[in-house]
Amino acid sequence: MNFGIEQRIAVVTGGSSGIGLATLHLLLAEGAKVAFCGRDVAKLKAAAEQLQQRFPQAEILAHPCDVLDQDQVTEFAQQVDQRFGAVDMLINNAGQGFVAHFAETPRKAWLHEAELKLFGVINPVDAFLPLLERSDIGSITCVNSLLALQPEEHMIATSAARAALLNMTLTLSKELVSKGIRVNSILLGMVESDQWRRRFADRQDQQLDWQQWTATIAAKRGIPMGRLGKAEEAARALLFLASPMASFTTGAALDVSGGFNRHL
């Protein structure tokens, strides 16, 4: 399938591992040029080497950057501008969650979750918007969570921040449509990650393999598909929404949760 992004420029935040890295693999396989950032310089370098080894002819820019630092994001955008001269797709992926009920959630956690979920998108959008405006297929795609619509008591601060992000991106889609820029999101359920791998290593029943252990978790949480999602499955949804294949889609939130959703 041709996604129409050959020689196009994609920017991915949080691209040194997990969903971000899986998305970069798909973008490069489709012939795109990519720029990505991350806070961990060693992981960033390792990811860049991995990508360059698999795609030796690809144009790849890896730049250390904390998306919550406006100056660093501005510098990242300047580097992308100097290297590529434009941006066609911005994929906002950086983020994490805070696990705690209301009574155990300190004020600083509420503030940090709001800052991370909102300014983790606001800063890149601010910095890359002038470059996106030069594109004829401009798109912004955000990794969000099912928590935005289906909050969990044990992640109350993250759930609230995710809902705020969904609200903001929907509004942004209306504002930027006149500039020819689409804005969409994916809503993740439970996805395999380094955090789950660490929990697996510390599991009580060492006789269970990865598939058995994650299937047990999926059953307890009520995921109809009976397993956790994979990074590449989320990446495929991001690729679709970011590409011209979704040219008539903006303001959407695509559920990627294995049927975990319980809302209309």
pLDDT for residue 206: 86
Q: 106 CB contacts (<8 Å, ≥6 apart)? A: none
In this predicted structure, the answer to whether residue 89 has a pLDDT above a threshold of 90 is yes
Query: How far apart, in Å, are the Cα atoms of 69 and each of 38, 75, 90, 111?
Result: 12, 10, 17, 15
Residues 205-256: pLDDT tens digits? 888 888 999 899 999 899 999 999 999 999 999 999 999 999 999 999 999 9
Q: What's the mean pLDDT in 93-97? A: 81
Phi then psi dihedrals of residue 182, to 5 deg: -90, 145
What tokens appear for 168 in the block? 């903001």
pLDDT for residue 45: 97
In 3D space, the residue among 93, 111, 194 whose CA is nearest the CA of residue 158 turns out to be 111
pLDDT for residue 224: 93
pLDDT for residue 128: 98
Global pTM reads 0.95
Residues 148-178: pLDDT tens digits? 999 999 999 999 999 999 999 999 999 999 9
Residues 110-125: pLDDT tens digits? 999 999 999 999 999 9
Phi then psi dihedrals of residue 5, to 5 deg: -120, 15
Mind listing the domains of the chain with CATH numbers? 9-190+230-251 (3.40.50.720), 192-228 (no CATH)
Residues 1-33: pLDDT tens digits? 799 999 999 999 999 999 999 999 999 999 999
Confidence of residue 197 (pLDDT cuts 50, 70, 90): confident
In this predicted structure, the answer to whether residue 59 has a pLDDT above a threshold of 80 is yes
What tokens appear for 82 in the block? 């100097």
Beta bridge partners, 155, equal 100
**Average pLDDT of the chain, as a whole number:** 95
What is the DSSP annotation of 83-126?
HHS--SEEEE-------B-GGG--HHHHHHHHHHHHHHHHHHHH
pLDDT above 90: percentage of residues in the chain:
86
Please say whether the beta carbons of 55 and 28 come within 8 A.
yes
How far apart CA 91 and CA 121 sit, in angstroms, is 9
Alpha helical stretches, state H, 2-106: 18-29, 41-54, 70-84
Q: 120 CB contacts (<8 Å, ≥6 apart)? A: 13, 67, 68, 92, 94, 95
pLDDT for residue 115: 96
